[in-house]
A and B are shown apart, each in its own frame.
Chain A
Amino acid sequence: MENWIIYILNGLYFASFLFLTSLGLSIILGVMGILNLAHGSLFAIGAFMAAWIVGAFGAKAPITIFVIALLAALGVSGLMGLLLETSIIRPMYQRALEYQLLITFGALLLIEDLIKMTWGGTAYYASKPFDIMGNLVIGNNQYPLYFLFVILITIMAGIGVWFIMSKTRIGIMLRAISMDREMARAMGIRIRKLNTLAFGMGAALAGLAGALIVPTTPALLGIGMEPLIMAFIVVVLGGLGSLKGALVGALIVGETRSIGIVFFPEIELPLLFLIAVIILVSKPQGLFGR
């Protein structure tokens, strides 16, 4: 039983990153119809930003500095999202999907080079917050409190996004755009501004996920690739543009991976794709897609 608690917690921890990353991807895809291949690079910016801040200033008060680093990562990635949207994404709205893929892939390469120019090609370590938070004892097992911290932050971020999307005027307008873009325009919604905002919000969530991961793994070039691939699986599973879909998709992928590694280690990744295939065959629009 204790082992099962740990397996479930492992799944929740991994699902947290997937949720934050795929939520951003899903908002961008749902509201703007843009398939953003550079989303993993925005995750990487958050990771490098946080690792750099914690590494440079976190010796004395790592938790306080880490909280500042989380906010900074969120802000810088969000800002980068705004810049991307206004400069190279905006002319792509009316273009075919292949143009979007091409331009966002170009953005991915551009951001990777930008990271290399800013932080160099070496690893950044920021493990202090993970080290000092200590562990929770569960029977014969121990579980790092930092992992629970990540789950908590993700829940808070998820509630925040839900609140914005469900209860605020901006959120209602964003949902209107995602449902029917032309009708929303006809109703006088300023689509251009809201597109920029949605892209910035999605980017900021990716940056937050990146920042949360660096206390347990060094920030390295290419750190955003794994989350990007996983986030695509989640978005496809959960359905495009759906907050609920991102949440359920992330939970399915996180828990399947966690339990799959324990019992079927040779097919860790194929298992996820198998589930994706089954869901897509039975429900092509994803679990909560329209």
Chain B
Amino acid sequence: MAEKKIGRRQFIKTAGTAGIGLGAAGILGSSVKVRKATAAQTRSIPKTPIKIASVSFLTGAAAAPFGIPGDNAYKLCAEEINKNGGIMGRKIELKSFDEAGGADAQVKLARKFILEDKVDVILGYISSGNCKAVLPLSDELGGLIIAYDCGTHVLMEEKRSPYKVPKYTLGFRSSAHLGIDNIGLALYIKQYYPGIKKVAAINPDYAWGRDSYLVFETAIKELVPGVEVVKALWPKLFTTDYTAHISALIGSGAEVIHSALWGGDAVTFTKQAIGMGLFKKARMAYSRGEPYPQEVGMDYPEGQIICCAGTHYFLYPPTDKWPRNKWFVEEFQKRYNKYPTYPCYHAYQAIYTYKAAVEKAGALVGGWPSKEEISQAASELSIETPSGILTIGEDHNGREDVLVGISKKVKGYPFPILDPDRMAIFPAHQVNAPAGIRTEDWINSWKA
């Protein structure tokens, strides 16, 4: 079995190539557009603070693993930006709001932000349902909205390929969608477990679980010919008893089990599966499993395949080689006594995408840019983040490399970490469908 250690050389090669290539293309490409779009070259910069509404789950099942860490990261970043002079001299006035209450409540809240509060930008949403409900308001009401954590691939895609991009002029997602997680898992399985014959799946029975499984199933069947799906289970969201599911998975004889369970569901399933001995018979492949070893602690089993929703990990890029990650991890840990998890990195990406787009557009127009100009600057923009380089595609969707690894108990950490010798980075072009092409269509075209 080929084992690969991420060394300095490989890291610099991956991050550097992506960064320089995409960055240069992005910055050059979009700056031409902004220049064309703007005639006036000098404008005033308002003295008032920039109003940012950040929306994350602050209560409920998604609060502890995603919402609260994400919100904490927003606060940390806003303070850091303000400490360094704000954005073009304007300080950020960040207000946090709860994402709970369902899509209707979020639509009402977003309308209020745009029409009454006149916020400069909304950074928010963990739930894919909320993203799908709120993002159309960006163009409808003329408000800049950056979705930061929701994962559904259909948010920015249309029903048929090829489709026109961007779907929304003022709507963005500053992270990659669930395609990278599930394609990344399939690529990792192909690389490290090429001989597997039987896979199973347990995913929550709604769009997130169904979409995640669809992408994984399509990819694994393309990449590992002959693999058989022996069981696909669909527990309801917030199920408290997984014993029957675990027995069914054990009985299926699957070697690898795909899962997009999240939050309390992922913790509950893991705990009960430990007790019932599932991990002695099969290994899990969690599409966004990065937060859970820290959540479960030393009981979290070794040997589980974990994807990081990008290259978002407190140990990657290595902090001695990527100072931005060192700063982020240390600051976050100092304030909140936890390592940052992927939603924290996503929050960083959202707020710094906005900052970079404003500064780029501002430099071109010679003052504070309009929302449309910020939007044009953000398209095909590349920025340095704690995770490496993030590029916003012309479809207004983030494009990222993806990190997949396997859990291992290592001295010095109070929970299993990703085995440093068995991490794999799959570059953005390998896991993100090209803009204008649906993810499933793209995967299905691999053979051809």
Q: Is B61 on the interface with A (CB-CB < 8 A)?
A: yes
Contact between chains at A258 and B243 (CB < 8 Å) = yes
Checking B61, B244, B271 against A10 with a beta-carbon cut-off of 8 angstroms, the contacting residue is B244
Contact between chains at B234 and A121 (CB < 8 Å) = no
Q: A3-B247, A135-B275 are in contact. Are A261 and B233 (CB under 8 A)?
A: yes
Checking B100, B241, B250, B264 against A218 with a beta-carbon cut-off of 8 angstroms, the contacting residue is B264
Contact between chains at B58 and A7 (CB < 8 Å) = no
What DSSP secondary structure best describes chain A's contact surface? helix
Contact between chains at A10 and B240 (CB < 8 Å) = no
Checking A13, A123, A130, A131 against B241 with a beta-carbon cut-off of 8 angstroms, the contacting residue is A13
Report B365-401 residues with CB < 8 Å from chain A CB: none
State the CA gap A133–B271 with chains docked (Å): 13
- Which residues on B sit within 8 Å (CB–CB) of A141? 247, 250, 276-277
Interface segment among A74-82, A156-164, A193-201, A264-272: the answer is A264-272
> Which residue of B is nearest A17, CB measured?
B241
Nearest-neighbour CB distance to chain B for A254, whole angstroms, equals 9
A-side interface size class: 35 or more
Q: Is B85 on the interface with A (CB-CB < 8 A)?
A: no
Contact between chains at A213 and B250 (CB < 8 Å) = no
- Which residues on B sit within 8 Å (CB–CB) of A131? 299
- Which residues on A sit within 8 Å (CB–CB) of B234? 265-266, 268
State the CA gap A227–B241 with chains docked (Å): 11
- Which residues on A sit within 8 Å (CB–CB) of B263? 123
Nearest-neighbour CB distance to chain A for B438, whole angstroms, equals 25
- Which residues on A sit within 8 Å (CB–CB) of B236? 226, 268-269
State the CA gap A196–B208 with chains docked (Å): 44
- Which residues on B sit within 8 Å (CB–CB) of A135? 275, 277
- Which residues on A sit within 8 Å (CB–CB) of B275? 130, 135, 142-144, 146-147, 216
State the CA gap A220–B267 with chains docked (Å): 12
Report B75-126 residues with CB < 8 Å from chain A CB: 98, 100
Residues of B bordering A, CB below 8 Å? 58-61, 63-65, 68, 98, 100, 231-236, 238-241, 243-245, 247-248, 250-251, 263-264, 267-268, 271-272, 275-277, 299
Known contacts A218-B264, A225-B238, A265-B232; can you find 12 more A-B pairs with CB under 8 A?
Answer: A10-B244, A116-B59, A122-B59, A142-B276, A147-B243, A216-B271, A216-B275, A220-B61, A222-B60, A262-B247, A262-B251, A265-B233
